[in-house]
Each structure stands twice: as C-alpha cells, then as structure tokens.
C-alpha cells in the first residue's frame, strides 16, 4: 500500500484537470492505496460546492460522495483560505495549517500535482 497525495493548486474554473484529480483519487483506492487530496493556493476553490449549471463545469460531488466510504482524506490549507477569503467549504473537507500540508507531502510515497 502506498500513500498517495493529489496536490490541487489551481482554480477549478479554468480547466477540468481538477475534476480528473478527484476521479483519480477514487480510482487509486482500488489498488488499496491511502489517498489524500490536498488543496492549497487557488486550489482551495476546489473545496467549495459549485452549482455546475451556473459555472458550466462538471460537479465533483459524483466522486467525493464515495470518499468517506473508501477513506480518502480531503485537506485544505487554512492560510490559502484566508488569503482568498473562502469561508464556505464542503462539509467533508478538513481545514489544516500549512505545516500539516507540508508534513503530509513529506511523508507521502507519491505526490501527484495538478
């Protein structure tokens, strides 16, 4: 078993690669991997619930609705939330400080940046 961290650093509004990261996070659990999705910088906007029909983007809820059942952690960096003024997160996302994000990255076997 590997600890895999998917690192989301970009807004979900400009492209769909973050949607692919959420899909990949679910798929990686099939190989009995420990998966963490870490969001920082503009990536913190991935922790917000969107109305897909309004922003014309696919909804990640299809994938993250299974995350708790398969043990995928979702972390969002507190400092980036404050920087961008983000206050309303999906309830399944855990807010942590920068030190914990760094510790998560350092202890991972694999980090996949998006």
Q: So what's the pLDDT on residue 112?
A: 98
- What is the chain's pLDDT, residue by residue, as a tens digit (114 residues)? 999 999 999 988 877 899 999 999 999 999 999 999 999 999 999 999 876 666 666 677 888 999 999 999 999 999 999 999 999 999 999 999 999 999 999 999 999 999
Model pLDDT, residue 54:
62
DSSP 8-state code for residue 8: E
54, two tokens: 């309004």
Q: What is the DSSP letter of 88?
A: -
CA–centroid distance for 42 within its chain: 12
Nearest CA among 9, 62, 63, 3 for reference residue 33: 3
Cα of first residue to Cα of last residue in the chain, in angstroms, is 22
Give me the pLDDT at residue 52, please: 63
Contacts for 3 with CB less than 8 Å, ≥ 6 apart: 33, 34, 36, 107, 108, 109, 110
Query: Which pLDDT score is estimated for 55?
Result: 61
């Amino acid at each position: 078993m590997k600890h895999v961290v998917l690192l989301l650093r970009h807004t979900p509004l400009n492209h769909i690669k973050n949607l692919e990261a959420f899909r990949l996070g679910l798929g990686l659990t099939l190989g009995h991997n420990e998966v963490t999705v870490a969001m920082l910088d503009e990536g913190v906007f991935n922790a917000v619930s969107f109305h897909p029909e309004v922003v014309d983007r696919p909804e990640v809820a299809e994938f993250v609705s299974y995350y708790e059942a398969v043990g995928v952690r979702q972390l969002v960096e507190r400092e980036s939330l404050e920087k961008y003024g983000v206050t309303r997160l999906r309830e399944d996302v855990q807010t942590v400080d920068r030190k914990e994000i760094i510790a998560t990255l350092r202890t991972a076997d694999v980090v996949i940046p998006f």
